[in-house]
Amino acid sequence: MFKFCFKRHKVTTPLADMDARCAMELYDACRRDDLEKAKELLPQMTVNQINYQHPSAGENTSLHEAARHNNQNIIKLLLERNVDRRLRNSNGQTALDLCTTNETRQLFECRAEIESSKCESCTLIDDKTFYEWELIDSEALQLASRFRRELKPCATLKQQKHLTYIIHKGYLPRYLSTIKSDKEVEEIRSKFEPALNNKNPNCIVQYFTEEQKFSYLLSRDMARNVLHDMKHGCSEFSCICLYTTKDGTKAMASILSHWPTFITYSGNKLYRGVFMKETDLAHYTANKHIIVTTFLPTSKDITVARQFSGYNVDSQRLDQYEEGKASFLFTYTMKNCICRTAIELGELSARPHENEVLILPYSTFLITNITTYQLIPLGRRIEIELEQCVDQELP
């Protein structure tokens, strides 16, 4: 049993009267599930107003209030505005802690729907069967080794400066182009400044874990680039998708894989829970290899993973039955190998109490077992066990 010690974030500095009134209006809109009022208020509000902790409401933020009432549309709206999900109220609870349904909790899992898109310079279409990893059987091992060799070292100050510069000046503008508010663009730029000026990438990792849009865009680009390379033989000289994103995604993967201050995970088991369509993973079979093509969040705590799997251990039922969907629990058996394949996020995570560990791109696993359980009265849960392939096993 782990004993968690939470660090309380500082209570928001008192706002001016006008700013406080605006913050209270948003809070009330979140409580009443008044989506139109929230949409009207948010464009003119600062981050401090949105994240304001109301002393008269137990230091709850607007996000706390929306989560407490499971007002999902407003939660989505707030998450799109870079709200701080790490803030804790006077009881030490984050907004996620106040959610009472699995569907609402999953909004906080840094997920976003994947849109269909077509690369204009090649014929590969990225559709909605696009996931964190792609099963490629025996080729997974050789390809993973090749992709890892393309990552850049960051042992010297010059190398570190080069990688942070690529993200700050090369990849960040791609993300900022999706932000409509000039004020928000400047606030985001300021968050990335320490990476460039102090050669400290912690702020990049923190932003990746807390901001849904950024993590989604980066993960999608990373996974899509691998698919373009594997399935279509694209290069950055002939494919717009690779040309515009390859340097940025490789720089991010290089930093997480080689930056000396990050803590390499050295434990044995990691867990990931997902509630999704069974058909999406129908191609998973035992004794097949997978390659992780993006940044894969997991937990050291199986109870945390189960929260996201949609399965209630006590009642032995699904939290909510949906036809065609099942509860998936992935168990990753990790091995101590030469290369870093996972890092402990700790306090860098927007959800430190979840004991989050990030499995890094180009890690390979062998599917060792798949067990399906029929639940009463309805639904299924599926447990998938995977074992990490170490460098010595690469052909």
Residues in the chain with pLDDT values less than 50: 1-12, 110-118, 121, 123-132, 392, 394-395
pTM here is 0.68
Pairing state of beta strands 380-388 and 325-333? Answer: parallel
Q: pLDDT at position 144, please?
A: 83
Query: Could you report the per-residue pLDDT of 338-362, keeping only the tens digit for each?
Result: 678 899 998 888 888 889 999 998 8
Q: pLDDT at position 67, please?
A: 92
Q: pLDDT at position 207, please?
A: 85
Report whether 22 contacts 41 (CB < 8 A). yes
Q: pLDDT at position 82, please?
A: 64
CA distance 60 to 72: 17
CA distance 311 to 373: 12
Query: Could you report the per-residue pLDDT of 120-163, keeping only the tens digit for each?
Result: 545 444 443 344 456 565 677 788 888 888 888 888 888 888 88
Q: pLDDT at position 29, please?
A: 94
Q: pLDDT at position 69, please?
A: 92
CA distance 137 to 290: 7
CA distance 321 to 53: 36
Q: pLDDT at position 395, please?
A: 43
- The b-or-e profile of 326-335 (16+ CB within 10 A means b, else e) is bbbbbbbebe
DSSP state of 54: B
Domains and CATH numbers, the chain: 17-109 (1.25.40.20), 133-388 (3.90.176)
